[in-house]
Structure 1
Amino acid sequence: MAFDQPLDRTVPSVADAIDRERDRQESTLGMIASENHVSAAVLEAQGSTLTNKYAEGYPGGRYYGGCEHVDTVEAEAIERARDLFGADHANVQPHSGTQANMSVYFAVLEPGDRILSLDLDHGGHLSHGHSVNFSGQLYDVEQYGVDPDTGYIDYDELERQARETEPAMIVSGSSAYPREFDYERIGAIADAVDAFHLADIAHVTGLVAAGVHASPVEHAEFVTGSTHKTIRAGRGGIVVCDAEYADDIDSAVFPGAQGGPLMHNVAGKAVGFAEAQTDAFERYAEQVVANAQRLADVFRERGLSLVSGGTDKHLLLVDLRDSHPELTGTEAESLLSDVGVVVNKNSVPGETRSPMVTSGIRVGTPALTTRGFDEAEMETVADCIVDVLDAPEDEAVADRVASRVDDLCETHPIYD
């Protein structure tokens, strides 16, 4: 019967697509800052029979029977998350970072309340109040930005905006801001205007867990994150918060923002969090940052303009308008994809092109670091990228870079 058949016999087209995707990941350099490669153990947990189990509610208080084993899994994920971030309470059920943010908004805000957050074109995220997202449709959104001369957030201006607009919540966090946030300063500003502080660490969850990036836990009532970027715990979201908000957050996640948790994903989080508690993971996180900073060094040496001049974390934002005004972000992404380097187009501060075209590219180091790349190899990768951008119509350059990419991928397989 079909129930017992393997995937390649049940739906060959899906099996083939999965095989091709694995080949694509193995044969290209994944440099999208929000992507990573999880371990075999996380893959095993996420592909387990836990996908069959409904478990609405929380450990010890489910709406379904038969939850004794998934209770064990979720309780472990919660405890490991609390330990990693030094938090009073953790909710590991959100399906994504966006749903983690949704749960915080639902817990303490009313529709029409004001949010002050980083502008999308300056590195912010859709779920921080963009008009196409629920957050921008339900709440009154004011946005702060970066100084056009430095590329850094101007905290004096942020404070001025906060005092003028009196938001109910200030959001710190980004998808394409290459510098650390001053969480202590933002927390103080929020306190001064009687606002909540939500720190969205989606991109730096793993760096914060490893202690190589500043932690906002002491300076924000709520901290949200993704579990599939720098922390390698499979796709999903997380919320940690002060004890006084624990019940509000739990109710906002379920039943407020979603129904039953994806218990196979919760298992992946438990495994990934366990991996993140090791010395090896701390070394990995340190290498992520070192690789990004070496990438930035070579880019600057070869004439690329970087927003804020560099990076404190795992990503760089390249502004092509000065060095390669003839290239759009879309064109640069395509040129690099053709030689096996996968990045994404990205808006830059002062953007004049549409989000589907853009004037910049975002480049990240988490996935290559997982594969074992160090600073010396990042120099090679950086040179490959600039070579292609400098000679977009030179087929000889493209062929040479593609061959070098093949060599690097063969030297550093993801799954042996």
Structure 2
Amino acid sequence: MKKFFLSFLTFMLLLCSLPYQVVLADDLDLPAQSAIAVEADTGKILYEKDSEKKRDVGGLSTLLTTYLIFEAIHEKKLSLKDPIKLSEKALALNDIEAAGTLPMEANQYTVEQLLTALLVGNSSTAALALAEKVGGSEKSFVEKMKQKLAEWGIQSPHLINATGLNTQTISGDSDGKEDENQLSAYDIAVIAKHLLQDFPEVTKYTSKPTALFSNTQIENPNLMLEGMPNYRSGVDGLRVSNSTKGGITFAASTTQNGIHMITVVLGVEAVDGDPYARFVATSSLMNYVVRTFVSSIVVKEGDPYGKSKATIMDGKSETVLAVAKKDFYIVEKQGSQAEPKIQFKSDQESFRAPVKSGTNLGKLHYTDPDKIGRGYLEDQEPTVDMVAGKTIEKSFFLKVWWNEFVRYVNEKL
């Protein structure tokens, strides 16, 4: 009994001396109706709380509006210097305080000016003007929004406009029909991931604490940017919104400890109207991610993974090393003992020489052993393209002829 007591006492002393352990995801109860955190590059879900329930999201839906505008610019259908004359419908929104009122005396602005108004000043007038320019009408633009979501696997979204404004806010009739764009925290994360990956230049706008619009300095409502009350290093966007029905919301992006993350909080509880509640909740979520996960490199650009190689026909070499086209990172829980599965899969059984250096040979696939929820946005686990590490020249013509003959005999006779 004495030995047992001493052993137990030693165990308790060791336990007390251990460093403070990070809170588990199940124990992190954010003061929000829905929330999600994902790694922006791989789409790995790092935290979620009721993340797939559709909710009224207000202006957060303009992240999708923003995506379609940048897409039109990249497709040369729109230029940053193009002038846009504001329609009466767009100008009418500028008289609504909840719609992001900005000075709009000129009635005509360039695409770049309107992007600044939208992404720094949260202007609904700018969102609608840009949407009408891209879609021809707001109704047509909303159809484009739905089509884009369908491409990303988001089915049956409830979208009624390009601005995210509540119908009562637009009409000014408190007794009128009340409706609003509805998306889930998961949906918002998917949109933000595509926006940041396809058009990273968006953060040149969203990271600005202030900007000039029509000779007037406008202020970004994202209080986590530099110089703001809730400043946090690394935060570069994305969108703050007050939903009439869904409450206060925030979608943010940041890079912390090598992890590029997207966070979304919907319906944040704000005691006594606390204007900082959404930012405090977001910071708590970011702290959890940084303390719980680590980003590690699987293979560096130009390096093979293990013995990854592809078979070559009629070449001076029978195989070629498959090397990573770019650095390949994964995100794991710190101290995880789960064994990941990483496998190279070639696009085809063999490649006929000559094969040039940089030719795509296949992909390196990562199978995550420790998923949270559905695991990854759009259910896509990380992969990286693997390419030929060097050029394999075609062999001497007599050897090629002989190889053809042997293959014919083996296959036909």
**TM-score grouping bracket, smaller chain normalisation:** under 0.3
TM-score (norm 1): 0.27
Larger radius of gyration: 2
Q: Determine which structure has the larger strand proportion and give its number.
A: 2
Q: Determine which structure has the larger helix proportion and give its number.
A: 1
Which structure ranks higher in relative contact order (CA pairs < 8 Å, sequence separation ≥ 6)?
Answer: 1
